[in-house]
């Protein structure tokens, strides 16, 4: 994936987890940073690049409705 823009949406009210989109396309629901890395890998990023993006708080990831790395419903 080139020029990746990832949106991690607000935690879901039921069951937690956060809906994730890449360039506006649904790529799944993450319940942890590890899940997010896996979704990014499945979307075409190398695992090491996905880990670096998530761990490094990349500007390519927009966290909406809750702090970064928090997956539980408030």
List pLDDT tens digits, range 17-55. Answer: 999 999 999 999 999 999 999 999 999 999 999 999 999
Give the Cα separation of 63 and 46 in Å (integer): 21
Angle among Cα 6, 9, 12 to the nearest 5 degrees reads 145
Q: Are strands 61-63 and 6-11 parallel, antiparallel or unpaired?
A: parallel
pTM: 0.90
Tokens 């993006």, residue located: 53
Give the pLDDT band of residue 57 (cuts 50, 70, 90).
confident
Predicted confidence at residue 4, as pLDDT, reads 54
Each domain of the chain, given as residue ranges in start order, spans: 6-63
Give the Cα separation of 11 and 7 in Å (integer): 12
């Amino acid at each position: 994936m080139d020029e990746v823009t990832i949106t991690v949406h607000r935690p879901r009210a039921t069951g937690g987890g956060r809906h994730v989109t890449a360039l506006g396309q649904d790529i799944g629901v993450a319940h942890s940073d590890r899940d997010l890395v896996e979704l990014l890998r499945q979307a075409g990023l190398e695992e090491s690049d996905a880990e670096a993006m998530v761990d490094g708080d990349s500007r390519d990831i927009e966290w909406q409705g809750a702090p970064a790395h928090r997956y539980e419903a408030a």
